């Protein structure tokens, strides 16, 4: 099966550190690929290189075999690639509903073509995203007044509202309580069923086991391994690196 999104040889240095060092990544359509690895492995930087938030020192990114490198985050988002941020980046003093509506605003960098720009179409997508994430009853609250798990779901609602077909999610489930985690997993599975392709940065290996079709393991900017979850998670050498017991 050919990949929907492919990175080849992506590299980005910060001073003397190669944060991402010659990484290849393939996202197969309709699957969840989990990107795992210790803190500082280069996971977020890899997302930033794909989404145009950082320019690579080397390497290429293709979407359905078309090169998409060297574009602004705006332009890349418009190709159908939406992302979330580890620090969420919600508009704290705007309502939950307005946070979601922003993602349907043609001037915002979240916006995706195809969803329609009429007030009615935008409102309908926002209501759908709020309902999917269980936030309908909180839609008038300020984002800043939400509980932690609700803020994580709001970040996801924003992505759902865009209608993007590729989602890059940076630790979307970190710190969620078990009930919220189950709701999160169910929601991602539902969206996969609707044809979305997902790359998930996730520390919680229970979630990885539950959701991932494939795992890509990064350490110190390099891809150490990739494969099916069972193989990767049962590899004692990788476990030692993951849990910080490096020799």
Ligand X SMILES: Nc1ncnc2c1ncn2[C@@H]1O[C@H](COP(=O)(O)OP(=O)(O)O)[C@@H](O)[C@H]1O
For residue 146, give the DSSP letter. S
Q: Which of these, 44, 59, 31, lies nearest to 169 by C-alpha position?
A: 44
Identified binder of ligand X from the candidate list 17, 94, 224, 225, rule CB under 6 A: 17
Q: For residue 219, report the phi and psi dihedrals to the nearest 5 degrees.
A: -150, 130
Is 84 among the residues that bind Mg ion (CB under 5 A)? no
Encoded one letter per residue, x for contact with ligand X by CB under 6 A and - for no contact, window 44-83 reads: xx--------------------------------------
Q: Which stretch binds ligand X (CB under 6 A): 36-44, 134-142, 180-188, 222-230?
A: 36-44
Is 42 among the residues that bind ligand X (CB under 6 A)? yes
Burial of 245: CB neighbours in 10 Å, binned 0-12, 13-18, 19+: exposed
Is 44 among the residues that bind Mg ion (CB under 5 A)? yes
Minimum CB separation of residue 208 from ligand X in Å reads: 14
Q: Which stretch binds Mg ion (CB under 5 A): 12-20, 35-43, 71-79, 117-125?
A: 35-43
Question: Total residues contacting Mg ion (rule CB under 5 A)?
Answer: 2
Question: Total residues contacting ligand X (rule CB under 6 A)?
Answer: 11
Is 40 among the residues that bind ligand X (CB under 6 A)? yes
Both tokens of residue 174?
């970190």
**From the list Mg ion, ligand X, none, partner contacted by residue 39 (C-beta under 5 to 8 A by kind):** ligand X
CB 8 within 8 A of CB 60: yes
**From the list Mg ion, ligand X, none, partner contacted by residue 232 (C-beta under 5 to 8 A by kind):** none
Is 19 among the residues that bind ligand X (CB under 6 A)? yes
Buried b / exposed e over 74-111, threshold 16 CB at 10 Å, is eebbbbbbbbbbeebebeeeebbbbbbbbbbeeeebbb
CA gap 6, 26 in Å, rounded: 4
Give contact residues for ligand X (rule: CB under 6 A).
Answer: 14, 17, 19, 37, 39-45
């Amino acid at each position: 099966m050919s990949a929907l999104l492919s990175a080849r040889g992506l590299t980005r240095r910060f001073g003397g550190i190669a944060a991402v060092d010659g990484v290849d990544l393939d996202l197969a359509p309709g699957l969840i690929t989990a990107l795992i690895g210790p803190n500082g492995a280069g996971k977020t930087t890899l997302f930033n290189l794909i989404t145009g938030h950082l320019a690579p020192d080397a390497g290429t990114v293709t979407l359905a075999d078309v090169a998409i490198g060297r574009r602004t985050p705006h332009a890349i988002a418009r190709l159908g690639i939406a992302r979330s941020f580890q620090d969420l980046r919600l508009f704290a003093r705007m309502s939950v509903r307005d946070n979601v509506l922003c993602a349907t605003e043609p001037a915002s960098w979240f916006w995706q073509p195809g969803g329609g720009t009429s007030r009615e179409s935008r409102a309908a997508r926002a209501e759908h995203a709020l309902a999917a994430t269980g936030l309908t009853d909180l839609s008038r609250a300020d984002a800043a007044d939400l509980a932690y798990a609700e803020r994580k779901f709001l970040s996801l609602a924003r992505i759902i509202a865009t209608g993007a077909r590729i989602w890059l999610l940076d630790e979307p489930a970190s710190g969620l309580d078990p009930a919220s985690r189950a709701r999160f997993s169910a929601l991602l599975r539902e969206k996969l069923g609707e044809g979305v392709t997902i790359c998930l940065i996730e520390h919680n290996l229970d979630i990885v086991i539950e959701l991932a079709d494939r795992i890509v393991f990064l350490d110190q900017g390099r891809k150490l391994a990739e494969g099916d979850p069972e193989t990767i998670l049962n590899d004692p050498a990788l476990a030692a690196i993951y849990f910080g017991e490096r020799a």
